[in-house]
């Protein structure tokens, strides 16, 4: 019989989530570097542009997805840290 403790699972989950968060942060950093501005400014510029730039819209969609993933992973990390998860 193998015994696995909840804290071991929490540690494993935190490692996985932090690794994913690091990858997302890097993608966000690359967008910030490419456009020399944070998400909030880029979002405003693209949404209010007089003429559509399809390349920027592609980046907008990807950047927006990365921002959502960042938020979701941050929430998951906090939940695990607080012990708010179940083992089935």
Cα 27–69–35 angle (5° rounding)?
35
What is the full DSSP assignment across 5-17? -HHHHHHHHHHHH
For 53-87, give one letter per residue: b (16+ CB within 10 A) or e.
eeeeeebbeebeebbebbeebeebbeebeeeeeee
pLDDT of residue 54: 96
Q: Give percent of the chain above pLDDT 70.
A: 100
Question: Exposed, middle or buried, 32 (CB in 10 Å: 0-12/13-18/19+)?
Answer: middle
For the segment 56-67, the average pLDDT, to the nearest whole number, is: 98
């Amino acid at each position: 019989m193998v015994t696995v403790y909840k804290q071991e699972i929490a540690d494993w989950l935190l490692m996985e989530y932090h690794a994913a968060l690091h990858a997302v942060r890097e993608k966000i950093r690359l967008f910030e570097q490419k456009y020399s501005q944070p998400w909030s400014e880029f979002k405003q510029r693209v949404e209010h542009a007089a003429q559509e730039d399809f390349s920027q819209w592609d980046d907008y969609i990807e950047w927006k997805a990365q921002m959502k993933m960042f938020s979701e992973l941050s929430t998951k990390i906090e939940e695990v840290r607080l012990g708010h998860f179940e083992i089935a």
